[in-house]
Structure 1
Amino acid sequence: MTAAEREVIGVLLADDDERFRGVYRKLFSRTDGFRVAGEAADGAEAARLAGALKPAVALLDVQMPGTSGLEAARRILRDTGTRVIMLTTFDLDEYVHEALTLGASGFLLKNASPPEVLQAVRTVHAGNAMLAPEVTARLVHRFAPRRPGHRHAFAGQVLSEREIQVIRFVARGYSNQRIADELFLSLETVRTYLRRMFAKLGVNDRTHLAVLAYEAGLLHEPR
């Protein structure tokens, strides 16, 4: 097997709309570096195929008959190493939040352009989340605990004050470079802080880090 062949990303498509699957099937089949590993019309079949085929990335419609896409995501993320991107027609924060807390790596609207879809799959396959910073910031605003001064039990023991400063900026949607500028740090130092926090808190990317932070009450400045 050549290096190019090893880099092909296998994608599982799960949507009850066969026409929609057909559009994505053509997109991935005609684009170098991708292949369609399998297709499912409901969540139960998606979970079964993910276990059998071990695709790199699964694209799951949130709303499917029978077993939902969110339940399929729960099973896939629990039982396989497949990374998950949720698909929906509606930009609903509740879906984004639930999908991320399950461990999904991305959230994609069905009207996304072909380049956006391909980039999302590449990003997730590389181990990153594909939510834009402004979406992360919107989630924080909606779901952050409204308890000023509250500190999660792990805050003082696991995260340093500097790391908490970094995580707050991440949750506001700041880029690594902007965080570096705000805290007068080098870009590589910010990246080092992020890698350490990923390891400490058991998350894989900035989006999940922000989700954990606001659920833990870390986003309120002390008074």
Structure 2
Amino acid sequence: MNSAIRILIADDHSMFRSGLRAVVDSQADLDCVAEVSDGRSAVAETARLRPDVAIVDVRMPKLDGLAATSRIVAAGGTKVLVLTTYDSDTNLYRALQAGASGFLLKSLRPEELVTAIRVAARGDAMIDPSMTRRLVGRFTKSIAPQDIPKEASHLTARENEVLLLLAAAHSNAEIATMLGVGEETVKSHVSRILAKLGVRDRIHAVVYAHQHGMVSPTEDFEQR
């Protein structure tokens, strides 16, 4: 049997921490190893305990969650999920720059949190779908498209198709259904896309596609 995913929870609201812990404790494959209430403690306890995933609130005393995320990611070994009440583009961009493996609103359902933890633990990333779609729109409006770089030319036709669907904020399961293939096949395509583009996760693959003018958010994949 695989060992449980070890989790640290960092949030300055005790009631919310308790709720998160209850969600974690309800899953046999998840194990909460610590709870902390400020950013400095999140960094210190992560360094001491080396959890697989740290769930970090944006707004915390002593050190804000995004600065804590940057330090945790820089130390290596622990993936970070950033949770926030505030639907902010600035926080999203800072979380991505800090290396977070997820950016999710606190209004998410418990099963979505569990999924995000497992996704982060296996080295992938996810952000709230509404934020992904807005991120896509912001990039296409604010970034002048660059020439498509050499590494992107190495993508196969199917890998390009998968990348466009990723950029439209579709999950692996949705992409599998839309393309009529298995979810494991989609995962293999995504892994090859990340390797060829030299990006660390699907979020940054989406950012890459829009930075280089490879996709338009107005494309309607479901009508293809």
TM bucket (normalised to shorter chain) is 0.7 to 0.9
Aligned equivalents of 1:151, 1:32: Cα separation in 2? 48
Q: Which amino acid aligns with 1:200?
A: K
Tell me the CA shift for residue 79 of structure 1: 0.6
Aligned equivalents of 1:89, 1:189: Cα separation in 2? 35
Moved more, 88-97 or 65-74: 88-97
Aligned equivalents of 2:38, 2:184: Cα separation in 1? 43
**Structure 1 partner of 2:146:** 150
Q: Structure 1 residues 28, 193: closer, same or farther in 2, change over 3 A? A: closer
2:65 is the counterpart of 1:66: no
Please give the per-residue CA displacement for 1:23-69, whole angstroms capped at 9, x wherever unaligned. Answer: 22233234322221112211111111111111011000011122110
Q: State the identity %.
A: 36
Contact 2:145 2:211 in 1 (8 A): no
**Structure 2 partner of 1:38:** 34
Contact 1:42 1:66 in 2 (8 A): yes
Please give the per-residue CA displacement for 1:103-126, whole angstroms capped at 9, x wherever unaligned. Answer: 211122222232222222122222
2:195 is the counterpart of 1:196: no
Tell me the CA shift for residue 148 of structure 1: 5.9
In structure 1, the residue corresponding to 2:55 is in which secondary structure? strand
In structure 1, the residue corresponding to 2:33 is in which secondary structure? strand
Aligned equivalents of 1:130, 1:207: Cα separation in 2? 7
**Structure 1 partner of 2:220:** none
**Structure 1 partner of 2:222:** none
Tell me the CA shift for residue 20 of structure 1: 1.6
Aligned with 1:159 (options 129, 132, 152): 152
2:14 is the counterpart of 1:10: no
Q: Structure 1 residues 115, 177: closer, same or farther in 2, change over 3 A? A: closer
Q: Which amino acid aligns with 2:120?
A: V
In structure 1, the residue corresponding to 2:126 is in which secondary structure? coil
Contact 2:46 2:72 in 1 (8 A): yes
**Structure 2 partner of 1:176:** 175
In the TM superposition, 1:207-222 aligns within 5 A as 207-219=203-215
Contact 1:100 1:211 in 2 (8 A): no
Aligned with 1:129 (options 117, 125, 136): 125
Contact 1:151 1:218 in 2 (8 A): no
Aligned equivalents of 1:186, 1:53: Cα separation in 2? 37
Contact 1:42 1:65 in 2 (8 A): yes
In structure 2, the residue corresponding to 1:144 is in which secondary structure? helix
User: Unaligned regions of 5+ residues in structure 2, if any?
Assistant: 218-224
In the TM superposition, 1:82-101 aligns within 5 A as 82-101=78-97
Please give the per-residue CA displacement for 1:121-151, whole angstroms capped at 9, x wherever unaligned. Answer: 1222222223255542321101336466532
Q: Which amino acid aligns with 2:108?
A: A
TM-score of the aligned structures, taking structure 2 as reference length: 0.79
Aligned residues: 211
Contact 1:169 1:179 in 2 (8 A): no
Moved more, 166-175 or 12-21: 166-175
User: Unaligned regions of 5+ residues in structure 1, if any?
Assistant: none
Q: Which amino acid aligns with 1:194?
A: V
